[in-house]
Amino acid sequence: MTAAVWLTNIRATPSTVQQWWVLSVRLIVPAIKSGDILNMVFAPIVFTASFYIPLNRIMTFAGTGFSSYAQFMAPIVMLQAASFAAISAAFRAATDAVSGLDKRFDAMPMNPLVPTAARMSGNIFRLLVALTAALIATHAIGFRFRLDALHTLGFIALALLIGIAFCLGADVIGSMSKSPEATTQLLVLPPLILGMLSTGLAPAGQFPQWVQGFVRNQPVSQFAYGLRALAGDTRGNAGAVTWSVMTPPLLWIVAIIAVSILLTIRINRRKG
């Protein structure tokens, strides 16, 4: 094979990494230029202000066992930031599916998982922005990391893993949707309902007796328990970082990611 033929083949069959990079840039750069990424900045800030301002005095009087209400509610702010990124992920996946872009990708010499990987790159970028904004917002109201650097990194890593799981699941839902707008509206409800019926904003003991079991054991509460343990508290009521505390949230993350990956592969095989 001559050098000219070899170079022609290389150009005709771009590598998977090149394709992933080009498609990732297609999602990230326009979001920055258009200012769309600002939604990921303002959403956690608005959520923090909307709940902290009216609930701070009430929850301080009712009691949470923590040194401050900011220390108690910080995990739910992180989880809501992850859900904002997930809703955006579902919208983009649904838009690609409805616009026919996915079909055009299917007709190209491209690994069928490359578009999904590229969308996830854009999703993780938005997720990082949202989590950073959430950390800044909660720091402004008084949240602090009370343990060592390793626990702080664990807090950030757990929040990031939760967000990735949310975004991957939302991408699957969006890929199967026929309406980006309807998908976005539908996905607003689960974080809102589960967030309200969780220990994110109030301890389980402040809920009616008949619903306390659900409040304690549902995934949002389990994520909040894990994040609080990693953040710590001066009163020592955040819980210790033990397997009994960390196993449930990690199992939920693994389950969501595993199911999402299986469904993604199935969807791409069906397209093929």
Length of the chain: 272
Q: pTM score > 0.85 for this model?
A: yes
Measured distance CA(19)–CA(59) in Å, rounded: 51
Q: How far apart are CA 222 and CA 42, in angstroms?
A: 26
Q: What angle do CA 152, 157, 158 make, to 5 degrees?
A: 100
| pLDDT for the residue numbered 166 | 96
Q: Is the pLDDT at 70 greater than 80, yes or no? A: yes
Comparison of pLDDT for 137 and 96, the residue scoring more = 137
What contacts 48, CB < 8 A, 6 or more positions away? 77, 134, 137, 138, 140, 141
Confidence of residue 217 (pLDDT cuts 50, 70, 90): very high
Q: Has residue 81 got a pLDDT over 90? A: yes
| pLDDT at residue 7 tops 70 | no
Q: How far apart are CA 158 and CA 151, in angstroms?
A: 10
- Per-residue confidence (pLDDT) for residue 106, from 0 to 100: 67
**Residue 151 phi, psi dihedral angles, 5° rounding:** -65, -35
- C-alpha–C-alpha distance, residues 148 and 232, integer Å: 9
How many degrees, rounded to 5, is the angle at CA 105 between CA 103 and CA 107? 75
**What per-residue confidence (pLDDT) applies to 169?**
95
Residue 5, pLDDT score: 45
Kindly tell me if the per-residue pLDDT of 110 is higher than 80.
no
Domain ranges for the chain: 16-271
Q: Which residues contact 30 (CB under 8 A, 6 or more apart)?
A: 36
| Choice among 5-14, 98-107, 180-189 with the minimum mean pLDDT | 5-14
Q: What is the pLDDT of residue 123?
A: 94
Q: Which residue has the higher pLDDT, 152 or 5?
A: 152
The mean per-residue pLDDT over the stretch 137-152 comes to 96
Query: Which pLDDT belongs to residue 102?
Result: 67
Residues 222-233: pLDDT tens digits? 999 999 999 999
Alpha carbons 91 and 235: distance in angstroms, whole number: 42
pLDDT of residue 18: 86
DSSP string, the chain: --HHHHHHHHHHS--HHHHHHHHHHHHHHHHHHHTTTHHHHHHHHHHHHHHHHHHHHHHHHH--SSS-HHHHHHHHHHHHHHHHHHHHHHHHHHHHHHHTHHHHHHTSSS-TTHHHHHHHHHHHHHHHHHHHHHHHHHHHHT----S-HHHHHHHHHHHHHHHHHHHHHHHHHHHT-S-HHHHHHHHHHHHHHHHHTSTTTS-GGGS-GGGHHHHHHSHHHHHHHHHHHHH--TTS-S----HHHHHHHHHHHHHHHHHHHHHHHHHHHHH-
Instruction: Check pLDDT > 90 for residue 178.
Output: no
pLDDT of residue 8: 45
